[in-house]
Amino acid sequence: MRYTKQIYFLLNSLAGGGAEAVAVRLSEYLPVANFILLERDVKYKTDKPIFFLSNHSTKTSPMIKTLSIPIYAYKLSKFLEELSLIVSFLERANFVNIISKLFKKHRAVISVRTDQQTGHVGLRKLNKLLVRILYPKADLIIAVSHGVKHSLINLGIEKEKIKVIYNPYPIDEIRELAKKPLGSYEEIFKHPVLITAGRLTKPKGQWYLLRVFKALKEKHKDLKLVILGEGELKNYLVGLSKEFGLKTYVWDRDRLSESFDVYFLGFQKNPFKFIARSKLFVFPSLWEGFGNVLVEAMVCGVPVISSDCRSGPREILAPNTDFNYQTKKPEFAEYGVLMPVFEVKYKSANERLEEREIMWVGTIDKLLEDENLRKNYSEKAKQRAEDFRIEKIVQEWQEVL
C-alpha cells in the first residue's frame, strides 16, 4: 500500500505499557516517519527517530501535564507538515493530536484503548468532558475493542466514525522470546508460580491478587507470586504484601533467592520467559480497554484467569458471548476463566476477604489442582491467540490509513 503523506505516531511516552508496545510493533510494519512523545521516558526500543515535545517525565505531576496539553499541541503543529497523518495512542496524546489541528491542518487518527464509562482516573470529570468535546473532531477513531466502541457511542460519538481493530501480536517472536533462559530467576520457577503483568496502578487491581494469594498460601505452601511492572502503587503493594507476613522481594532493593513468597520484578523487556514458565496468568484488572498481556500469556500457552472487567477480557476469552454481560460467578469460558470484577476500592491487610475474593481463591485452587483443565486451557489459549497475529491486524491498519 502507498502512503502519500508522512505518518507519525504520537504517544505520552515509551515508558512501558500495552499501548506503547502496540505502537512499537505497528511501527515495524507501517511507514512511520517518527515517534513524537509528550514525555522523555523511553524503555521500548525502536529504530524510528524520536521527537520530544517537552522535558516532562512519568514523574511529572498529572495536573501539570494536563495543563500543558495546549502547549504540546502548539509544539506538535510546528513540527508537522501540512496534511500529515498523526496516529495517537492514549488519552492525553489523543487530546494533543486533535487540538493541534487548530494550528496546522493534518489528519488526526486516535486510538482509544480504555472503556470510557469506567476507565477515567485522576482528573476524571475533566477527562470525560474533554473526550465529549474533542473526540468527535477526530478524523477517525480506532477502538481497541467492541466494548470501547460501545462506551464511545454512549458518550454521543457517531458510530460511523469508529472502527474496531484489535491489538496485534508478533506471535512467532513472542514464542521465541519465551524460550530464552531465565538466568538467576530460574530458582523461582522450580516452584509453582502465579504471575501477573502490568503497571502498578489503580486500574490493574494488584492488591486484590495479593489478598487472594495470601489465602491460597494456606493450602499451597510452595506457591510463589510474580508481579511484573512498575508504577506509583509500588510502595502500597509492597507494604500490603509485608503486612500479610509474606516474604517480599523488590527488584531494586533485595538480593534474589528462592526463599521469597512474592516477587516484584519491575519492568522486564522480555516478560514472556517468565510468563511461559508459570502455572497460571492471573489478571485482576478493575477496568481495561483490551488487556494486552492476556493475549501475550495465551501466546505463551499459559492458562489465564481474568476479571470480567470492561472491556476486552470477555471479547478475548468468550468471543461468542454478549460483550456487555458481566459474570457474577466463575465462568469457565471457551478460552479461559472469567471472574467477577472487584470493587474500585483499596484494601488493607486486616480486612476480611469478601465473597468475590473467596470465589477467586476457590477457582485458582481448582485450576492449580486440575492438570487436565490447565492443559485444555493451554491448548485453547494458543489457538485463540492466532486470531490476533500481527500480520492479520496490520492489514486492517493499512486499510484505514
Global confidence as pTM:
0.85
pLDDT for 350: 92
pLDDT band at 1 (very low <50, low <70, confident <90, very high): very low
Looking only at the bridges linking them, the beta strands covering 85-89 and 7-11 are parallel
Cis peptide before 311 (omega within 30 of 0): yes
pLDDT band at 121 (very low <50, low <70, confident <90, very high): low
Q: Is the pLDDT of residue 115 over 90?
A: no
Tell whether the torsion through CA atoms of 52, 57, 62 and 64 is positive or negative: negative
Across the range 379-400, mean pLDDT stands at: 95
pLDDT, greater one: 9 or 21: 9
Q: At the topology level of CATH, where does 7-165 sit?
A: Rossmann fold (3.40.50)
Query: Over the stretch 215-229, which tens digit does the pLDDT of each residue have?
Result: 999 999 999 999 999
What the block records as the C-alpha cell of 262 is 512474592
User: Rounded to an integer, what distance in angstroms lies between the CA atom of residue 280 and that of residue 305?
Assistant: 7
pLDDT for 16: 79
Q: Is the pLDDT of residue 117 over 80?
A: no
Indicate the domain borders of the chain: 7-165, 171-387
Q: Is the pLDDT of residue 118 over 80?
A: no
7-165 and 171-387, same CATH topology: yes
| Measured CA distances, 377 to 209, 278, 280, 384 (Å) | 21, 14, 10, 10
pLDDT band at 18 (very low <50, low <70, confident <90, very high): confident
Across the range 141-153, mean pLDDT stands at: 93
Burial 218-252 (b: 16+ CB within 10 A, else e): eebeebbbbbbbbbebbeebbebbeebebebbbbe
Q: What is the CA radius of gyration of the chain?
A: 21
pLDDT, greater one: 401 or 355: 355
Average pLDDT of every residue of the chain: 93
pLDDT for 123: 54
Query: Domain 171-387: which CATH class?
Result: alpha beta
Q: Is the pLDDT of residue 383 over 90?
A: yes
Query: Over the stretch 309-353, which tens digit does the pLDDT of each residue have?
Result: 988 999 999 999 998 899 999 999 999 999 999 999 999 999 999
Across the range 373-399, mean pLDDT stands at: 96
User: Rounded to an integer, what distance in angstroms lies between the CA atom of residue 115 and that of residue 291?
Assistant: 11
What the block records as the C-alpha cell of 2 is 502507498
- Three-state secondary structure call for residue 388: helix
pLDDT band at 62 (very low <50, low <70, confident <90, very high): confident
